[in-house]
């Protein structure tokens, strides 16, 4: 029974960790460049890939992050944000996602004077149009950035609160984890908690287990982005397991940034086997050159996951969604039914 080999593209999935600016299609970038921004170095989509996608592994997270600077110059208008958000929902739908949480950092899209709120309005408009068109439930996570001032991050937290329940579902902290430890952002996330905002934190990617522990105990994260290097400390691993904190793991990205040095060092299988709530996500469709289907295929290929186990991971994702409670209840039960149907067809 467990030897099934279902079509993973058709398997119902969710994507809880995917960045807007890491998921811009090259053909879209050409269109966006017509609206403004510096002249593109190439005019054909295929030739733009090297500027937008990591080729093989990169040396570090820092090098991975460089790919974002390239596209950000063309994402400074409401029109651009709306389009990229809409197309992200389309890309998710094409790979069987039933639910997607798209994230982005409002402060990186203000070069031409947009307010934080205006950027959120445009992203939500794109997500909502995509939701209607493609039948994928789409929500937004707004990101505070390591290295940004308290004032700028608080601005993001306040805006998130104003849009909470209207499309925004949580706040995040991203950026150079190795240089900016969690304790620098205590007051921002204290404010987020006071405002009742769910919190997810990028941790255990470019820094060790301590960063994961503090994301939870100090900043109040109820989900953790990546958590790969948590494996360096059994105590932190146990804390995450006992508290039932879902990990938003992104296998291809985690290999590329060298959060894990190869599949044999990748802790996803061990985490899953010890009962940690592992979820699988894409991080960046374009920068990582991935799809949610490819991520699940890699689990099957490199970590010997059976289809039943892959369904359990997808279900972990649905249950970990920051979706509004009532909508979530309906969504999760429908999702469970769809998974059962898929598995039934995969086995027969
Ligand atoms: Zn991320």
Angle at CA 292, nearest 5°, toward 286 and 298?
105
pLDDT at 277 over 70: yes
> What pLDDT is recorded for position 152?
98
Ligand 1 centroid, distance to 242 Cα (angstroms):
24
Are residues 205 and 222 in contact, defined by beta-carbon separation less than 8 angstroms?
no
What percent of the chain has a predicted confidence (pLDDT) above 90?
90
> What pLDDT is recorded for position 4?
59
Ligand 1 centroid, distance to 316 Cα (angstroms):
18
d(CA 84, CA 64): 20
**Sign of the torsion formed by the C-alpha atoms of 120, 123, 129 and 135:** negative
Helix (H, G, I), strand (E, B) or coil at 57: coil
pLDDT at 155 over 90: yes
pLDDT in tens, 197-238: 999 999 999 899 999 999 999 999 999 999 999 999 999 999
Are residues 335 and 320 in contact, defined by beta-carbon separation less than 8 angstroms?
no
Are residues 229 and 252 in contact, defined by beta-carbon separation less than 8 angstroms?
no
Ligand 1 centroid, distance to 78 Cα (angstroms):
22
pLDDT tier for residue 1 given thresholds of 50, 70 and 90 = very low
pLDDT at 3 over 60: no
pLDDT in tens, 81-118: 999 999 999 999 999 999 999 999 999 999 999 999 99
pLDDT at 348 over 70: no
pLDDT in tens, 287-338: 999 999 999 999 999 999 999 999 999 999 999 999 999 999 999 999 999 9
In whole angstroms, how far apart are CA 15 and each of 63, 128, 293, 334, 344? 24, 16, 11, 16, 23
> What pLDDT is recorded for position 64?
78
Ligand 1 centroid, distance to 283 Cα (angstroms):
5
Other CB atoms within 10 A of residue 135 CB: 10
Active centre residues (catalytic): 205
**Quick one: which of 75, 93, 89 has its CA closest to 167?**
89
Other CB atoms within 10 A of residue 295 CB: 24
Give Cβ neighbours of residue 311 (< 8 Å, ≥ 6 apart): 11, 339, 342, 343
What percent of the chain has a predicted confidence (pLDDT) above 70?
97
Ligand 1 centroid, distance to 89 Cα (angstroms):
17
> What pLDDT is recorded for position 66?
81
Ligand 1 centroid, distance to 17 Cα (angstroms):
6
On the CB side of 317, CA atoms within 13 Å amount to 29
Helix (H, G, I), strand (E, B) or coil at 327: helix
pLDDT in tens, 29-85: 999 999 888 999 999 999 999 999 998 766 666 677 789 999 999 999 999 999 999
Are residues 169 and 127 in contact, defined by beta-carbon separation less than 8 angstroms?
no
On the CB side of 223, CA atoms within 13 Å amount to 29
Domains with residue ranges and CATH for the chain: 13-347 (3.20.20.140)
d(CA 53, CA 256): 11
pLDDT at 14 over 90: yes
pLDDT in tens, 251-273: 999 999 889 999 999 999 999 99
């Amino acid at each position: 029974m467990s030897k099934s080999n279902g079509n993973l593209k058709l398997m119902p999935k969710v994507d809880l960790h995917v960045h807007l600016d890491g998921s811009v299609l090259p053909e879209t970038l050409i269109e966006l460049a017509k609206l403004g921004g510096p002249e593109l170095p190439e005019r054909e989509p295929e030739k733009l890939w090297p500027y937008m996608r990591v080729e093989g592994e990169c040396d570090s997270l820092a090098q991975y992050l460089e790919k974002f600077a390239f596209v950000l110059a063309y994402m400074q208008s409401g029109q651009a944000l709306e389009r990229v958000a809409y197309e992200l929902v389309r890309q998710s739908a094409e790979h069987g996602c039933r639910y997607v949480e798209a994230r982005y950092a409002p402060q990186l899209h203000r070069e031409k004077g947009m307010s934080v709120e205006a950027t959120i309005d445009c992203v939500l408009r794109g997500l909502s149009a995509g939701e209607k068109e493609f039948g994928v439930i789409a929500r937004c996570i707004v990101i505070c950035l390591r290295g940004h001032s308290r004032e700028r991050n608080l601005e993001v937290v306040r805006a998130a609160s104003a849009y909470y329940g209207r499309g925004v579902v949580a706040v995040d902290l991203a950026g150079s984890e190795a240089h900016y430890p969690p304790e620098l952002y205590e007051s921002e996330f204290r404010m987020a908690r006071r405002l009742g905002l769910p919190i997810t934190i990028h941790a255990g990617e470019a820094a060790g287990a301590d960063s994961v522990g503090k994301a939870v105990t100090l900043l109040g994260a109820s989900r953790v982005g990546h958590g790969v290097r948590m494996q360096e400390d059994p105590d932190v691993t146990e804390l995450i397991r006992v508290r039932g904190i879902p990990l938003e793991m992104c296998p291809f990205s985690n290999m590329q940034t060298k959060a894990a040095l190869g599949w044999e060092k990748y802790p996803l299988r061990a985490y899953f086997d010890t009962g940690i709530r592992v979820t699988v996500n894409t991080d960046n469709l374009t920068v990582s050159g991935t799809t949610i289907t490819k991520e699940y295929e890699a689990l099957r290929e490199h970590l010997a996951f059976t289809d039943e186990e892959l369904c359990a991971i997808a279900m972990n994702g649905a249950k970990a969604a920051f979706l509004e409670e009532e909508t979530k209840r309906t969504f999760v039960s429908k999702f469970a039914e769809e998974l059962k149907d898929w598995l039934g067809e995969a086995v027969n």
